[in-house]
Chains A and B, each alone.
Chain A
Amino acid sequence: MFTTSGRTGDPDTVRRLNAPRRLRVETGGNGTPRRIYHRGRWLIVTQERERYRTDDRWWTDHPVSREYFELLLEDGRPITVYLDRIDGSWYAQRYG
């Protein structure tokens, strides 16, 4: 059984969960990430597991055009990053 606090959400305090985080990426000749700047240091990409693109919402004020990379970094950490093909910046896609 649930109880509620009785409070309604305040729009000023609402924030997106898992919003993509901008990050610095160094790419190779074919546009694939080679190194990623993470928590104050550059980490080498050891494996590109998946690469895919998304083009959507082009009829809205917020079109989406992204190139995603699922990568494995030298410290064994998997990471998903994408290049926003509209603003030209790199972002880390966070899950959960």
Chain B
Amino acid sequence: MYVELHCHSCFSFREGASTPGELVLAARALGYGALALTDHDNLAGAMEFAQVAKEWGVRPIIGAEVTLSGTPGSDGEASPHTHLTLLAETQRGYANISRLISHAHLSSPRDQPVLDPEMLRGCAEGVIALSGCRYGAIPRFIEAGDFDAAYETAERFIAIFGAGNLFIELQNNLVHGDRGRNRGLIELAARFGLGVVATNNVHYHDRARHRLQDVLVAVRHRTTLDASEHLRRKNAECYLKPPEEMARLFAELPEAIANTRAIAERCTFDLTRDLTYQFPDYQAPDGRTADAFLEDVCFEAARVYYGRITVDLTTRIRHELDLIRQSSQAGFFLRNWEIMRYARTNNLPARGRGSSVGSLICYLLGLSGIDPIKYNLFVGRFLNETRRKEDVPDIDIDFAREARERMFEHVFTTYGTEHAALVANVISYRYPMAIRDVGKALGLPEADIDQLAKRLHGRFARSLAEEMRDLPEFASRMDSPIWREFVRLVEELRGKPRHLSQHSGGIIISDTPIVEQVPVQPTAMAGRYICQWDKDSVADAGFIKMDFLGYPSLGHLYRTLDLIEEHRDRRFDPLHIPLDDPEVYAMIQRGDILGIVQIQSRAQLQAILRLKISSIEDLVVQVALIRPGPIQGGAVNPYIARCQGREPVMYDHPCLESILGETKGVIVFQEQVLEVAMAISGFTAGQAESLRRAMSRKRSREEMEKLREAFMQGAQGKGFVDDATAAVIFAKIVAFAAFGFPKAHAAAMAETAGKLAWLKRYYPVEFYCAWLNEWPFGFYSPGVIVNQARRNGVEVRRADVNRSRGECRMEEDAIRLGYNYVRGIGETTRRRLDEEAQHGPYTSLWDFWRRTRVERVPIERLIRLGAFDFTGLHERELLWQLGLFYQPLGKQLPLALPYESDLVPLTEMTDGERIAADLQFTEGAITSRGHIMDLALGALHEGIMPSHVVDRMEDGASVTVAGFVAVRQAPETAKGFVFHTLEDRYGLINVITKPHLAATYQHIVEHAGAIIVHGHIERQERVVNVVTERMEVLPLAGAQPLALRHAAHSW
């Protein structure tokens, strides 16, 4: 029986056209007992392949087709790069293949991995080599008739791998030349006593997929199908063929088929079982064990944090220590403690996130910064009795932006590239890129493709076919063969991996060399390396991933504290900022929440205005409530209604009361998913956690059905609830599971939010100044932030070359905009300006130009922004003067003469021109000399309601509003609804546009910087929305069309 040993998935980027799952399912349907995956120069899809294959009863064989640098022929000329197929026979073989691929990537230009064949010499143990496709060194020489070179190459490979581990690969893809080449290869094999083996060089699971493969080849070579005939495969034969067909193709050489099975049987390495990964152990001092040392560290910290160690505290610490001891993970916790000590001793703002925040040990080790006793946090989701040594929990830590960069540097410096790597992120094709790539390959008109790609870029776009049917210029083409083909190919390509990138913060460290566990490759950033697996594969491998995530709000918080210390000589300990101040909760209840992380979104505001948040515990629920999980699970409205007493608290089954009582009978926290699954289906904690994990991944319908069956069977077995109720509860769990917060995580987020709220309430100037300096992050553009600061009574002053610095800074109780908000002034120039500012104020434009030598364009912008107003000259006069400094080359150098004599009478700029200049030249459309809406005065007709009047209008009233777009959103959970937050001179207005109107006004919805909306009021208690009936663009006189793009946060 035939086994396919040469098979590419779509992880052979822009080459393979089928996913590992598609290949496995096809193999299973064809009766394959085993299947190899041999992607080009990577193992990126290997873990996914191994997992799916095992799940479906196909034995996975792991390998790769590596690219070797050219081998010299008999004439001494090196051949082009060649291919060689390597299969992992043993664990050592897998480690060697991984090391070889790493070496190829690390020693070649990025994304062009080529391996020096000499490297094979030390890395052949446990590897079975097949001589490769027609681009292999031996087949190439045979095809070229250079038999001497072919034989020499064979001898070299035999010396490296051993004759028993080198097989001559025969491919009959029904391409002209296959027969002749195979005859030569068979002769060579006979001469050296080598085995022959049939392979089909599979590039897709099904014959029909060859079209996508052709497209991918054209895409890779940046050309069209018409122009790539010589690059594409000649036919559609590289699919996973039925074993019988392969046997027919090699009927004259049955041993080539028999050897596939023999090789498959030799390859006993199991990627899902045999990795040798080990987290670095911890050498405790004074000969103590890691467990004993961990205990000492924890109790010592407990004395510092709590003062007195109570019996309850001791019990909790010992319980967690026991769980850690049982799973032999003390070393892991101590390593994390050591890494985080670096952050603490270097004052790098950090705080835990995720389920680890529920652990008291993590708190005591400084890994979370959140007291789990205070929030009554459950440790079971993070540590439980079912955790084994290899099942190490994630410890995720948030860092301020710069702090995170320093932590990466620290880890790479400490562990080196042999033992540390970042986790990869697989970037998959989405509509716009798929449309562009397929369109170009098919040679479709660029303008049409551009139009479709832009249309499908919108967050609320439907499928390509639906969008095309709605466009008159495309609807008629849907019946033409090429456009039908286009739609089909785009849909096939969508979701397929395109390339590897860096995960947002995952890093793995390993005691055993990481390059032997998974190949490593460089990233675009010098000194950074990623492994070839994404977070799911890393988790399946049992690697310990630490997540160092960037969390700018921590930077915001710590910057605010620094400013308070600098200007008021008071230092607050971030751990002890009050979280029970009624004044702070009164501010939140008023809806004054901009800048408070986690609760500042439009959706959060709407919930906050209906709830009475008055404690940190309320804030913890609030943070977790407005998430896709609870929203999709239908939890939000019942929760609010139950809090308000408008609806009784109900449970799907009485046994859920103890679990969901805290959240009024609805699922808000991830821990509740586990507990509900345990109560209803009788799952253990470990099974429930597996279910939660499984559901949080992208799963096929078949796989989801498997999970449902397990849950329903469990429920039937327990006999607690009937099938219908169990089905309802399962549906709620599924709806929730993908995007919900654990309570521990919500507590961490809520605590940061609470601290920022306190700082906003009592130190607004510092709060806003720090926010501007930490930006970009969050929902609001700097223009909106500055306008909000002003409404909160904080003065924000325009840039001034004698007062501004690189960053915004405080002047008494006002904020002075920094050069970081002048477009086109980069970090180097900012540093130069900061240095020069120490030499005293500038006396004139000439003085500034002479001393700083800043380029002309930034100086012009500074002039336009009013940064030279101290000179007493207006902008046009200054621009004229600046022009005189720049003499044509070869002329006499300018002298420091009084330029006033050269001035000509020039008119002063209007207020409108100044606001337009602010919009154009400040980062994020900050206007310092008026409001954006001043530019719209000519278009604002009678009957347009300002925001403060809209807030008081009755439900159902007709209304027209106008404003510039501060935020536009179309979250996937909103099913096509679009939400705009408009800002006028007085505040913010929320606008809701239904899907059909969003489609009608798509261009305005997606692109307009300012709009007029005609509609009606929808009022629910204090929450007011304007529901769109009609929409038009609000023209802004003098504003550059693109300037407002920076004013809005989109999607």
Contact = CB atoms under 8 A, between A and B. Distances in A.
Given A30-B248, A56-B229, A59-B225, A51 B174 contact: yes
B442 interface: yes
Nearest to B251: A30
Contacts of A58: 211, 214, 485
A59 B176 contact: no
Contact of B485 (A49, A59, A65): A59
A56 to B, nearest CB: 7
Given A59-B225, A59-B442, A52 B248 contact: no
Interface in A12-71: 30, 49-56, 58-61, 65, 67-68
Interface string B221-255: 00001000100101111000000000010000000
A56 B234 CA distance: 7
A50 B179 contact: yes
Interface in B236-279: 236-237, 248
Contacts of A59: 211, 225, 442, 481-482, 485
Interface residues of A, number: 16
Contacts of B235: 52-56
- Scoring B236, B237, B442 by chain A CB atoms within 10 A of each residue's CB, the highest score goes to B236
A55 B485 CA distance: 16
Interface of A: 30, 49-56, 58-61, 65, 67-68
A51 B252 CA distance: 15
Contacts of B1029: none
A49 B211 CA distance: 29
B492 to A, nearest CB: 14
B481 A52 contact: no
Contacts of B180: 50
Contacts of A53: 174-175, 234-237
Contacts of A55: 210, 234-236
11 contacts: A30-B248, A52-B235, A53-B175, A55-B210, A55-B234, A56-B234, A56-B235, A58-B485, A59-B442, A60-B482, A61-B481
B234 A52 contact: yes
B178 interface: yes
A52 B229 contact: no
Across the A-B interface, the 7 shortest Cβ-Cβ residue pairs: A53-B235, A53-B174, A55-B236, A52-B176, A55-B235, A52-B174, A59-B442
B482 A52 contact: no
A54 B236 CA distance: 8
A40 to B, nearest CB: 31
A11 B177 CA distance: 38
A80 to B, nearest CB: 10
A66 B481 CA distance: 20
A31 to B, nearest CB: 11
Nearest to A51: B174
A61 B210 CA distance: 18
A59 B480 CA distance: 11
Contacts of A50: 176, 179-180
A53 B249 CA distance: 13
Nearest to A60: B482
Contact of B234 (A49, A51, A54): A54
Interface in B174-197: 174-180
B481 A68 contact: no
B232 to A, nearest CB: 8
Given A50-B179, A53-B234, 13 more contacts: A50-B176, A50-B180, A51-B179, A52-B175, A53-B237, A55-B236, A58-B211, A58-B485, A59-B481, A59-B482, A61-B481, A65-B236, A68-B176
- Scoring A50, A56, A59, A68 by chain B CB atoms within 10 A of each residue's CB, the highest score goes to A59
Interface in B443-490: 481-482, 485
A70 B850 CA distance: 82
Nearest to B441: A59
Nearest to A49: B179
Contacts of B174: 51-53, 67
- Scoring A30, A49, A56 by chain B CB atoms within 10 A of each residue's CB, the highest score goes to A56
Contacts of A60: 482
Nearest to A56: B229
Contacts of A51: 174, 179
Contacts of A65: 236
A16 B234 CA distance: 23
A13 B651 CA distance: 86
Contacts of B214: 58
A11 B75 CA distance: 50
B238 to A, nearest CB: 11
Contacts of B210: 55
A68 B235 CA distance: 12
Interface in B191-218: 210-211, 214
Interface string B163-178: 0000000000011111
Interface in B491-505: none
A50 B178 CA distance: 9
A53 B235 CA distance: 6
A54 B225 CA distance: 15
A68 B248 CA distance: 18
A60 B229 CA distance: 14
- Scoring B179, B180, B235, B482 by chain A CB atoms within 10 A of each residue's CB, the highest score goes to B235
Nearest to A61: B481
Interface string B548-583: 000000000000000000000000000000000000
Nearest to B248: A30
A67 B176 CA distance: 11
A21 B657 CA distance: 82
Contacts of B237: 53
A50 B235 CA distance: 15
B440 to A, nearest CB: 12
A61 B485 CA distance: 12
B796 to A, nearest CB: 58
A68 B366 CA distance: 72
B442 A52 contact: no
- Scoring A30, A49, A50 by chain B CB atoms within 10 A of each residue's CB, the highest score goes to A50
Nearest to A63: B481
B768 to A, nearest CB: 57
A73 B581 CA distance: 100
B701 to A, nearest CB: 30
Contacts of A52: 174-178, 234-235
A91 B25 CA distance: 38
Contacts of B176: 50, 52, 68
A56 B485 CA distance: 14
Interface in B690-737: none
B757 to A, nearest CB: 59
Contacts of A30: 248
B179 to A, nearest CB: 6
Contacts of B232: 56
Nearest to B237: A53
A58 B211 CA distance: 8
Nearest to A48: B179
A67 B235 CA distance: 10
Nearest to B210: A55
B1015 to A, nearest CB: 47
A54 B237 CA distance: 9
Contacts of B481: 59, 61
Contacts of B211: 58-59
A93 B177 CA distance: 18
A55 B236 CA distance: 6
A29 to B, nearest CB: 11
A61 B175 CA distance: 24
Nearest to B215: A59
A68 B177 CA distance: 12
B595 to A, nearest CB: 53
Nearest to A52: B176
A58 to B, nearest CB: 6
Contacts of B248: 30
Nearest to A50: B179
B468 to A, nearest CB: 17
A48 to B, nearest CB: 9
Contacts of B485: 58-59
